[in-house]
């Protein structure tokens, strides 16, 4: 005899059915995209020099694997992503902390952060190559440009949006800024920091 009620069994079936539907349509979208992409390239409706095609991507991947260079390229890309991710995270956290601790600096820097974040950084690629050189450093620099400002803004907005009641309470008990930061700001913004890390890793990958 089942220990679950009829309603609970129906609920589980509904959840499983919804999960199957979601998985099916996710797969359908990917397969449809690949088929349409391949057809557009086969009938030359898109510029294959710029967009390639699924079959060409597979052929190139196999060729790189046979040449023993596939994992080398993957390793270099992973290295660049990790380095840019770590640097952007450290810079973002430090700058956001400084902005939170000094409201005057925050008011001065805020419009510049917004402007720098809105710059079309990919368009600066040729200049970055001239400044840094056509090397791994220029790739990391590009990734930093894309990810650092987003990280700073995300973390700072989280710090600035912390519940003021907690801060006021600690101030009434004689807490200094360091204690407020470690006891209230950081614990309250763990979800924000995790979100910033997620955004940062994706931005770093895009930059690389």
From 6-10, 149-153, 160-164, the region with the lowest mean pLDDT: 6-10
Mean per-residue pLDDT of the chain = 87
Is the separation of the CB atoms in 185 and 159 below 8 Å?
yes
pLDDT at 1: 47
Lowest mean pLDDT among 19-28, 45-54, 78-87: 45-54
Q: Report the C-alpha gap between 121 and 104 in whole angstroms.
A: 28
> pLDDT tens for residues 7-16?
778 888 888 8
Instruction: Give the pLDDT of residue 183.
Output: 87
- The whole-angstrom separation of Cα 124 and Cα 28 is 37
pLDDT at 203 over 90: no
pLDDT of 26 > 90? The answer is yes
Average pLDDT of span 176-197: 89
- Over residues 56-81, mean pLDDT: 90
The owner of tokens 């600066």 is 124
Q: Average pLDDT of 195-203?
A: 89
Whole-prediction pTM: 0.74
What is the architecture of the domain spanning 68-208? Orthogonal Bundle (1.10)
Residues 100-149 pLDDT 10s: 988 899 899 888 888 888 887 777 778 888 887 778 888 888 888 888 98
**What's the confidence (pLDDT) of residue 37?**
93
Cα distances (Å, whole numbers) of residue 125 to 41, 47, 160, 182, 208: 28, 23, 33, 39, 11
Mean pLDDT in residue range 179-207 = 89
Q: Where are the domains of the chain?
A: 1-67, 68-208
């Amino acid at each position: 005899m089942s220990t679950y009620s009829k309603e609970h069994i129906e609920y589980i079936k509904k959840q499983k059915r919804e999960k199957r539907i979601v998985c099916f349509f996710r797969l359908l979208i990917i397969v449809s995209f690949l088929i349409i992409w391949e057809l557009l390239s086969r009938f030359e409706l898109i510029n294959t020099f710029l967009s390639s095609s699924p079959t060409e991507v597979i052929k190139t991947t196999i060729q790189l694997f046979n040449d023993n260079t596939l994992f080398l390229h993957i390793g270099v890309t992973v290295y660049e992503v990790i380095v840019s991710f770590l640097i952007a995270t450290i810079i973002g956290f430090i700058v956001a902390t400084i902005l939170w601790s000094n409201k005057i600096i925050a008011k001065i820097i805020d419009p510049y952060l917004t402007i720098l974040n809105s710059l079309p950084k990919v368009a600066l690629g040729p200049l970055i190559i001239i400044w840094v050189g056509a090397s791994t450093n220029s790739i990391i620099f590009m990734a930093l440009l894309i990810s650092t400002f987003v990280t700073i803004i995300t973390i700072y907005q989280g710090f600035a949006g912390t519940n003021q009641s907690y801060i006021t309470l600690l101030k009434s008990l004689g807490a200094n800024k360091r204690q407020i930061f470690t006891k209230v700001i950081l614990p309250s913004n763990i979800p924000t920091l995790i979100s910033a890390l997620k955004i940062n890793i994706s931005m770093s990958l895009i930059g690389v």
